Chain A
Amino acid sequence: AAAEVTTAAPDVDDTDNVNEEEEYAAWKLRELHRIKRDRSEAEEREAAKDDIERRRTMTDAEIMAEKAKDGTLSKGSRDHNGEKPKHR
């Protein structure tokens, strides 16, 4: 079976400029997707940076309050049930 695989003739046509307009349009779409993806990544980075800046100016209590609101407050801290975390 392996030998068959090696000798299989390429059955996909890779000839260019058959329909140049269509090929260009398809590329344009791909390139626009990439631009959009890169932009949204940059926006995410900016947002994360701004968030870090904002947190830096907050007090611990404020951060705790915000985390509690988001539901991202980590469990297992001592003040929850009076026990120390098992692993240190």
Chain B
Amino acid sequence: MANRTSNDVKNIHGTNPQFLLEKIIRTRIYDSLYWKESCFALTAETLIDKAVALPCIGGQYGNQKPTEFLCLALKMLQLQPEKDILRLYIQNEDYKYLRALGAFYLRLTGSSVEIYQYLEPLLLDYRKLRRRNISGEFELTYMDEFVDELLRSDRVCDTILPRITKRHILEESGELEPRVSPLEEDLEEEEILDGQSSSGDDNVKEEN
């Protein structure tokens, strides 16, 4: 099927899913060695092996070459794996680059509610990720940082992300429950403790 979108995919955000990556980047991917050698004839299942073996995340590097990460993202846009499979990509605990790829793909194709629902739990995943920057060097980042970026930035990995409804708007319309971080409890306890200790100081002063 080479560079065509598979015939049974549904349009996403009203367009051919492959168009979610800009034309110039798509062309560079079609021209890249990794695409020609490794992405030909992949399926939703065989793609997993490639995603597991990814060395890094990232957009373009060096001479505007697309990373393997972007190549596989485009492949996923062609194949449009089923929601259940995508969920497995994201919820698997063992392979962080597979998870990162799934998260990126969901951010490109999912509805706002879905995105918050499935990506926010990943904010608790503090594993390290390699990111290849524009000059081709590798940097260290973390899953939670990457996901936070996906939720808040307009542009990640040299890709313009589709608009996402702000979280507070979805909360106001009742589509989403407020997010409670596990740390929030700690924070409140600390605040209470602070309050108590300061009132304790007052008592001491009064006694004096």
Task: Give me the interface of A with B, judged by CB distance under 8 Å.
Answer: 1-2, 5-6, 8, 10-16, 23-24, 26-28, 30-32, 34-35, 42, 45
Task: Give me the interface of B with A, judged by CB distance under 8 Å.
Answer: 33, 55-56, 61-63, 65, 96, 123-124, 126-130, 136, 138-140, 142, 144-145, 148, 168, 181, 183-184, 187
Asked if B183 and A14 make an inter-chain contact with CB atoms under 8 angstroms apart, the answer reads no
A-B contact count (CB 8 A): 63
14 contacts between A and B (CB under 8 A): A2-B63, A5-B61, A10-B130, A16-B96, A23-B126, A24-B126, A26-B142, A28-B183, A30-B126, A30-B145, A31-B123, A31-B144, A32-B183, A35-B183
**Out of B56, B123, B126, B148, which one reaches A26, CB within 8 Å?**
B126
Contacts of A8 in B (CB 8 A): 136
Q: How far is the CA of A31 from the CA of B143 in the complex (A)?
A: 12
**Out of B56, B63, B144, which one reaches A27, CB within 8 Å?**
B144
Q: B136: nearest residue on chain A (CB-CB)?
A: A5
Contacts of B56 in A (CB 8 A): 10
- Measured CB to CB, the closest approach of chain B to A45, in angstroms, equals 7
**Out of A16, A35, A45, which one reaches B181, CB within 8 Å?**
A35
In the A-B complex, the 10 residue pairs with the closest CB atoms: A27-B126, A5-B62, A12-B138, A5-B136, A2-B63, A14-B128, A16-B127, A14-B130, A10-B138, A10-B55
Q: B183: nearest residue on chain A (CB-CB)?
A: A31
Q: A16: nearest residue on chain B (CB-CB)?
A: B127
- Measured CB to CB, the closest approach of chain B to A39, in angstroms, equals 10
Asked if A35 and B127 make an inter-chain contact with CB atoms under 8 angstroms apart, the answer reads no
Asked if A35 and B148 make an inter-chain contact with CB atoms under 8 angstroms apart, the answer reads no
